[in-house]
Structures are given as structure tokens and as C-alpha cells.
Amino acid sequence: MTWPEVEAALDDGTRTAIAAVGSIEQHGPHLPLNMDTLDGDALAARIADRLGDAVAAPTIRPGCSGHHMEFPGTITVPPETLMDTVRAYCRSLDDHGFEYVVLVPTHGGNFAPVNTVAPDVGRELDATVVALADLDEHMRLLNEGLREAGVDYEQDVIHAGAAETSVVLAIAEGLVREDELEVGHEGDVSAARLLGEGFRAITENGVLGDPRAATAEAGEAIVERVTEAYVERIEAERDAT
């Protein structure tokens, strides 16, 4: 959008901005470093379109990806930096007249910082800040999308496997290096160990699970499932205020 287009949207009564919070980090040998940002772009756009009176703001990046830094190309910022960025981002949208700013993290390492900063920002601004940052719910929705598309594969911790590969197949198929699909670590994963010791301690190729199970149809089902759940949450929040 150009600035006159944003101004026109505000003049027409648009008061909700959807801002995904993505990352630049390794996603195995087959997915691009900006996978979480691509996902954020697509999800924010679809949520805004479904609401009908919202705009998709540019996805915030990079994110908190220190646990991926053993893999070249990953770019990370400290949690404090991400929270300061989110705060400034929300202030800018508030200054322009948006009454609702919806934060949608699409990278696991961003959920805690977003949950931490959102209430403080909400108290500072006229705008209502809505953080859709329940990591367990997010993982559940991704697994539900896989099942709805007939993919019999489920993981408690999702990264570069069937779910995320499916999403990229659905939104940017040409970016999936299908000749580089490799199975990663399968089985139980300790989230505490992943964060404490880094991904390389768990998986040599940066993948959790089996990306070969991915399909574009499953990716579409995942994006749609998350969109439906988040639109319902946003509408309930707006109705309550």
C-alpha cells in the first residue's frame, strides 16, 4: 500500500491492523530462511481480508531466534529488542488512528516476548492491543490443518516438518527445494532443551519430523484453520470493547 491508500482506508472506517511477528532463521535445507515471515504475510493478509474492515501491516522481523544461530543465515535479536520494536510499531499504528492492533507471532521464539509486552503497550495507547500468542493453540491448529487434509502426521513441536513445508507449498511453492527434502529428528522433543542447547543439539539438518509428508492441500487447510480461529478471536475482542 501507499500512504494515500492507508489514509483512504482510515477515512473509510478501517480501524484494525493485523501485524504478524516473524523471523529470519533456518528451516532445514529445503525451506527459505524467511519461512515464518512468508507465513506471517499470508496469514495477516487472509485475516484482514476475512474481517473485511482491516489491513495487513508489514510483518515484523527478525525475531528471537538464538536457538537457531548454529545454522548460517539465521538472524536474531534479543527479546528486549523485539519488545521495543513491537512497542514502537504499535505506537505508530495508534498514532495513525488504528483502534485495534492485532499481533500474530508465527515463530515459536516470539510468543513469550509478545505476550510480555502486549499488556504494557495496551495500557500506554488508546488502541486496543490484541495478542494472539498462545503457542500451544498455534501448534494445535497446525496439526488440525494437517488432519483435515488427510495427512496423518502430528508433532508437539513443529519446525520445518510436514506442517510448515505444507504452508510454503501452499503460499510460495517455488521456494520449496523439493530435491532437498530430508527427514529430521522424530520422536519426543524437549522444548526446554531446544531453547537451552539450540536446535543443533537435537537435529543436524535443522528439521523436526518428516517434510516429505507435506502437501499444498494441507498447507491451505492449515492457513484456513488458523485464519478461522483468529478471526473469531478478533471479532470477539472487538465486540467486547
CATH number assigned to the domain comprising residue 151: 3.40.50.10310
- Separation between Cα atoms, residue 155 and residue 144, nearest integer Å: 11
Predicted local confidence at residue 66, as pLDDT: 97
Three-class SS state of 84: helix
Q: Is residue 10 part of a domain?
A: yes
Q: Is residue 56 part of a domain?
A: yes
Q: Is residue 143 part of a domain?
A: yes
Task: Compute the average pLDDT of residues 134-152.
Answer: 96
Residue that is written with C-alpha cell 502426521 in the block: 153
202-236 pLDDT per residue, tens: 999 999 999 999 999 999 999 999 999 999 999 99
Task: Compute the average pLDDT of residues 67-82.
Answer: 98
- How far, in Å, are 57, 89, 130, 162 from residue 117 at the CA level? 18, 12, 11, 31
Residue 4: half-sphere exposure toward Cβ, Cα within 13 Å:
0
168-181 pLDDT per residue, tens: 999 999 999 999 99
- Separation between Cα atoms, residue 22 and residue 34, nearest integer Å: 8
88-132 pLDDT per residue, tens: 999 999 999 999 999 999 999 999 999 999 999 999 999 999 999
32-55 pLDDT per residue, tens: 999 999 999 999 999 999 999 999
Predicted local confidence at residue 195, as pLDDT: 86
- Separation between Cα atoms, residue 208 and residue 194, nearest integer Å: 11
Whether this prediction's pTM lies above 0.85 is answered by yes
Q: Is residue 241 part of a domain?
A: no
Nearest to 25, CA basis, from 91, 141, 109, 83: 109
* pLDDT classification of 71: cutoffs 50, 70, 90: very high
Domains in the chain, number? 1
Predicted local confidence at residue 88, as pLDDT: 98
Q: Is residue 72 part of a domain?
A: yes
C-alpha grid cell, residue 114:
509478545
Q: Is residue 48 part of a domain?
A: yes
Three-class SS state of 56: strand
Predicted local confidence at residue 27, as pLDDT: 98
Task: Compute the average pLDDT of residues 189-193.
Answer: 86
- Separation between Cα atoms, residue 41 and residue 172, nearest integer Å: 11
Q: Is residue 209 part of a domain?
A: yes
Q: Give the domain extent around 189.
A: 3-236
Q: How many CB atoms lie within 10 A of CB 152?
A: 8
Q: Is residue 94 part of a domain?
A: yes
